[in-house]
Structure 1
Amino acid sequence: MIRTFLVDDHQLFRDGVRSLLAAADDIEIVGEAASGREALTLTPDLEVDVVLLDLSMNDRGGLDVAEELKQRSGAYILVCTGFPEEHYAMRCLRGGADGYLTKTKAAEELVQAIRKVASGRKFISMELAERVATSLSSFDDSKAPHERLSDREFQILCRMGSGQSPSEIAEELCLSVKTVSTYRSRILEKLSLENNAQLMRYAIEEGLVGTSR
């Protein structure tokens, strides 16, 4: 039996997942949480094989939660989110996640994805696998500038692009305002930008606004 824990701040989605998995006789939902902090509190006390995790939650950045859940629970992490995989999938996998699934494909692929990561293998869509194969055969210069940012720099870029202030970002990511400002300077330098207005324009043009978790 694959013991699964749900982490998503939308009750309707969690209910939908429960209904979807009810027909799978080898998958059991052992708990659920509506926030990253709640998940980090509950999972260490449970026997969990797979954590199904959304990236978009109000209290903690999804990348941070995924990494910490992996360390605390030892469970496999399957990210299931509305964010497009081209922006976040590889970052999640590098950060310790075992699979990445968009919610638009959850109905068709969720059961398969849970079974695959529970067996110790990685799960990504066929489209992403093809994209990865293409990137491996291409020169590194073909990457967009923001793909060379660290995960933390990328998180801050997306949040600043969405109009969040340094103090708001600092509170959300549990950083100091000074640290956020340091990251901002690095981002501007790496992207060859001069100010916040150019940074926001870059984030919008690259489709990064709304993918800050």
Structure 2
Amino acid sequence: MALMKPIRIAVADDHAILRDGLCQILMTNPGIEVIAQVETGAEAIRLAEDPTLDCLLLDISLPDRSGIDVIKAIRRDNKKLPILILSMHPEDQYAIRALKAGASGYVNKAASTKELLTAIRQVASNIKFISPVVAELLADRIGEVDHEEPHTLLSDREYQFLVKVASGMTVTEIADEMALSVKTVSMYRTRALKKMNMKTNAELTHYAIKNSLVG
């Protein structure tokens, strides 16, 4: 009987220790082959051009750009590559946005190895992985059609600003982390305040904490 072809995976995560540990766990499974590991969004986008790649395991937070931006960049040229988000951020912060951007699934880093392997096999078979938590979020979103929460009106960059400022970061710190100018981040701040009908960062922070958008 012919052996099954292993799933060829690339891992994009900027935390070297976590990335190395994850790759070691994956490589103990005979059905998975880790062919590359990188730490930036730009490298992940280049990796996606490899026609032999079966799945890209992608973190949401990368040093040069967000995972959401990476997904969108990849999807402009590659509609089929399975992209599985593996993030420390709770599902209610980024899962829906990641799926809308084109991700094939979303797994929290607190998940078990069994759940991660299930997700990898599923997305590599071109089936979206929807965990029970994400399924509940999707169901809730359907029920919110007539009453959208203010933060759902934000663009992905505006939402990133909201989460970061609510985590205590200054505009300058956010600009550095997102690799953007202070002027650009200030523009996202202005748009977020306007869309949410608020006037200060304190109001944004209170809203984010009240709605569990930050840990």
TM-score range, shorter chain: 0.7 to 0.9
**AA in 1 matched with 2:15:** H
Give me the whole-angstrom Cα distance separating, in 2, the residues matched to 1:127 and 1:42: 29
Tell me what 1:8 maps to: 13
Task: Trace 1:67-146 onto structure 2 (pairs within 5 A).
Answer: 67-71=72-76, 75-136=81-142, 138-146=143-151
CA RMSD of aligned residues (A): 2.5
Higher helix share: 1
Aligned positions, number: 209
**Alpha-carbon separation, structure 2, partners of 1:128 and 1:11:** 27
**Percent sequence identity over aligned pairs:** 44
- Of 3-12 and 20-29, more deviation after overlay is shown by 20-29
After TM superposition, give the deviation of residue 192 of structure 1 in Å. Answer: 1.9
Deviation by residue 1:62-115 (Cα, 9 ceiling, x = unmatched)? 211222234456521100111100111010000111110011114121111111
Helix, strand or coil: the match of 2:30?
Answer: coil
Which residue number in structure 2 is paired with residue 194 of structure 1?
199
List runs of 5+ in structure 2 lacking aligned partners.
1-5
Deviation at 1:180, TM superposition (A): 2.9
Structure 1 distance, partners of 2:93, 2:76, is 24
* Cα pair 1:2 1:26 within 8 Å, conserved: yes
Which AA in structure 2 matches 1:125?
S
Query: In the alignment, is the contact (CA less than 8 A) between 1:80 and 1:106 conserved in 2?
Result: no
CA separation in 1, counterparts of 2:210 and 2:52?
Answer: 44
Q: Distance in 2 between matches of 1:67 and 1:185?
A: 24
Work out the CA distance in 2 between the residues paired with 1:166 and 1:175: 10
Distance verdict in 2 for CA 1:76–1:207, change over 3 Å: same
In terms of mean alpha carbon deviation, does 200-209 or 183-192 score higher? 200-209
Unpaired runs of 5+ residues, structure 1, are none
**SS in structure 2 of the partner of residue 105 of structure 1:** coil
Partner residue in 1 for 2:49: 44
- d(CA) in 1 for partners of 2:17, 2:184: 37
Question: What TM-score comes out, normalization by structure 2 length?
Answer: 0.83
Q: Is it true that 1:153 corresponds to 2:161 in the alignment?
A: no
Give TM-score scaled by structure 1 length. Answer: 0.84
**Which residue in the other structure is 2:69 paired with?**
64
